[in-house]
Amino acid sequence: MIPLRVTDVSKSYGGVQALKPTSFDVRAGEIHALLGENGAGKSTLIRIMSGLIAPDSGAIEIDGEIVHFRSPRDATRHGVVTVHQELLLFPDLSIAENICMADDAGPFGHIDRDAQVRKARQLLAELDSADLDPEMPVRHLSVAQRQRVEIARALGRQAKVLIMDEPTASLADADVARLVAIVQRLRGRGVGIVYVSHKLSEVRLLADRVTVLRDGRFVDTREAKGMTEADMIALMVGRSISELYPKGESRIGAEVLRVDGLTLAPRVRNISFTLRAGEILGLAGLVGAGRTEVARLLFGLDRPSSGRIFLDGREVSVSSPEAAVALGIAYVPEDRGAQGLVKTMPVSANVTMASLGQLLRGPFLSRSTEYAAGAEAIRRLGIRAPRGPQHLAGKLSGGNQQKVVIAKWLRTAPRVLILDEPTRGVDVGAKAEIHALMGDLTRQGLAILMISSELPEVLGMSDRVLVVSQGRMTGLFERADATPERVGAAMVAEMQEATAS
């Protein structure tokens, strides 16, 4: 009996075929990875399987019977539950209320709170998450914890099939390990899991079978056993990428940025480092270790309580983002959609947003200069925008959106570029392009501070690696010394001290 099988499903949006006829199935107790670059049709297939959209053609079968999902609720009733990338929880309700919702309401809509708490506690225990108090509001939870709450909710609904859309996209490595254990546990209980991720190392670790989509087309379904990451990439992009992290040689020059004792308790405590021209300094640490907070201080979004910042040896005060830009500091933030882009504006308006002064003809913005700036960004960074500079930023794929944000900052001619999770949620092809761009920029003498939760990226791209844990520096490694073991140990260093004392 196959808990979920789709046969020749397809979907078009206004003339564009997002998914050509594709078949896919999940067996009980199996992890089936779904791979593909952004725009390959994964999201469309997931939306069909989770009941968000109806396919134009093809059939959905649950346990061999043909069904039509009218809504996600309908899919849930058939035992197909989806954990979306952006977690859909109610922040002001408790964990128990989020897990149970109105599932167990009495005949008059009455909800038995004690029963909800008991049920939640039991489900969380099954996920090895007894540390979560069911009565705590979800608002206080980390992303990783929220995710476990969502999975518990899915379990509570007797999920036969669990669809997980990029579950580890915003998790640090330690949390990823825990999630991997949970997913394996669910497989052991006979749940069929559809696992979507850009992180191929996880896929190789977890998946029993792998299905690859490319350009809305089904490419292949294979047994995962024996497949290497390179095999998967080759299937995804239709060519092989020999070099994943092409950090070329760049001449490292004079010191550009020096930070001395930067502090804003509790997230940033006494951070000191230097950054030189042509250098990439990787800033590693767990989510919440204080990496982004350091970036915010350097970009003037927050003010430090103590500590000094030097640019070219001269002490500077970064009082606001405007001051930071004037000093030549640029920041590509971690949350592209919320912080990086104005999605309802075209590419040209987005790439010029931090350098509007350059568009002025007298008091007025020059439309032609703006258009030219958009075209220039598209050409220089290889942004795929079919409508050119007028293309709305929100309608680009993740990788191209990220390039728009980077282009915006390159127009300010920065000396120091801070990249916060530069390739999060970006497909393999665009990721390689962004890495290559970083290499080019350092060869032109730009100093880059890169924050990343992906250890291979940090180790592959950085000339030196600075590790923070709980707001403190716990390690600084030269490229040659930065092994996964050493950096990993430094990432959790402070925590162990805290537990030991």
Partner 1 sequence: MSPTSGRLNLLLSHEAMLAILLAVTLLILSLLSDSFFSTANLLNQVRLTAEIGLITLAMTLVIITGGIDLSVGSIAGLSAIMLGLLWQKAGLPLPLAAVTSLGIAVLAGLGNGVIITRFRVPPLIATLATMAFYRGLAEGFSQSRSVRGYPEGFYILGQGEVLGLPTQVWILIVAAVLVGTALSATAFGRTVFAIGANETAARFSSLPVDRVKLIVYGLSGFMSGLSGLLLVSRVTTTRSDMGMGWELDAITAVVLGGASIFGGRGTVLGSVLALALIQCLKSGLSLAGVKADGTIVLIGLFLIGAVLLGNLMDRIAAR
Least distance between partner 1 and beta carbon 383 (Å):
16
Residue tagged 């220089």 (tokens): 380
Least distance between partner 1 and beta carbon 392 (Å):
5
The interaxial angle of helices 367-381 and 398-410, nearest 10 deg, is 120
User: Could you tell me how many residues of this chain bind partner 1 (CB under 8 A)?
Assistant: 34
Q: Distance between CA 274 and CA 314 in Å, rounded?
A: 13
Q: Does 357 bind partner 1 (CB under 8 A)?
A: yes
170 CB-near residues (< 8 Å, 6+ apart) = 143, 287, 424, 453
Q: Distance between CA 470 and CA 434 in Å, rounded?
A: 29
Please identify, using beta-carbon distances, which residue of 241 and 301 lies nearer to partner 1.
301
Q: Does 333 bind partner 1 (CB under 8 A)?
A: yes
Please identify, using beta-carbon distances, which residue of 84 and 343 lies nearer to partner 1.
343
Q: Distance between CA 193 and CA 28 in Å, rounded?
A: 8
Please identify, using beta-carbon distances, which residue of 412 and 423 lies nearer to partner 1.
412
For residues 10-49, which are near partner 1 according to CB under 8 A?
13-14
Please identify, using beta-carbon distances, which residue of 1 and 338 lies nearer to partner 1.
338
Please identify, using beta-carbon distances, which residue of 108 and 364 lies nearer to partner 1.
364
- Residue from 346, 399, 429, 471 that binds partner 1 (CB under 8 A)? 346
* 156 CB neighbour count, 10 Å cutoff: 20
Q: How far is CA 101 from the centre of its chain?
A: 28
Q: Does 213 bind partner 1 (CB under 8 A)?
A: no
Least distance between partner 1 and beta carbon 144 (Å):
23
Please identify, using beta-carbon distances, which residue of 14 and 106 lies nearer to partner 1.
14
Angular region, 272: left φ>0, alpha ψ -120 to 50, beta rest: beta
324 CB-near residues (< 8 Å, 6+ apart) = 298, 299, 300, 318, 330, 331
Burial class of residue 330 in the structure, from the number of CB atoms within 10 Å of its CB (0-12 exposed, 13-18 middle, 19+ buried) = buried
Checking DSSP bridges between strand 268-276 and strand 255-264, what pairing results, if any? antiparallel
- Residue from 105, 130, 356, 413 that binds partner 1 (CB under 8 A)? 356
List the beta strands (DSSP E) in 299-404: 306-311, 314-316, 329-332, 360-361, 364-365
Please identify, using beta-carbon distances, which residue of 221 and 369 lies nearer to partner 1.
369
- Residue from 130, 342, 413, 498 that binds partner 1 (CB under 8 A)? 342
Report phi then psi at 135, rounded to 5: -95, 0
244 CB-near residues (< 8 Å, 6+ apart) = 432, 435, 456, 460
Q: Which stretch binds partner 1 (CB under 8 A): 20-28, 153-161, 330-338, 446-454?
A: 330-338
Please identify, using beta-carbon distances, which residue of 13 and 90 lies nearer to partner 1.
13
Q: Which stretch binds partner 1 (CB under 8 A): 146-154, 209-217, 361-369, 424-432?
A: 361-369
Q: Distance between CA 363 and CA 199 in Å, rounded?
A: 48
Least distance between partner 1 and beta carbon 321 (Å):
4
Please identify, using beta-carbon distances, which residue of 69 and 331 lies nearer to partner 1.
331
For residues 364-393, which are near partner 1 according to CB under 8 A?
364-365, 387, 390-392
For residues 298-327, which are near partner 1 according to CB under 8 A?
301, 320-322, 324-325
Please identify, using beta-carbon distances, which residue of 309 and 325 lies nearer to partner 1.
325
Amino acid identity at 214: R
Helix residue spans in 229-303 (DSSP H): 229-237, 291-298
Q: Which stretch binds partner 1 (CB under 8 A): 73-81, 91-99, 139-147, 334-342?
A: 334-342
DSSP H or E stretch at residue 118: helix 113-126
- Residue from 174, 180, 252, 353 that binds partner 1 (CB under 8 A)? 353
Q: Which stretch binds partner 1 (CB under 8 A): 53-61, 235-243, 347-355, 490-498?
A: 347-355
Burial 398-408 (b: 16+ CB within 10 A, else e): bbbbbbbbbbb
Checking DSSP bridges between strand 209-214 and strand 31-35, what pairing results, if any? parallel
Least distance between partner 1 and beta carbon 65 (Å):
34
Q: Which stretch binds partner 1 (CB under 8 A): 57-65, 128-136, 266-274, 353-361?
A: 353-361
Q: Distance between CA 300 and CA 289 in Å, rounded?
A: 19
- Residue from 151, 233, 349, 449 that binds partner 1 (CB under 8 A)? 349
Least distance between partner 1 and beta carbon 318 (Å):
11
Least distance between partner 1 and beta carbon 420 (Å):
10
The site for partner 1 (CB under 8 A) is made up of 13-14, 301, 320-322, 324-325, 331, 333, 338-346, 349, 353-354, 356-357, 359-360, 363-365, 387, 390-392, 408
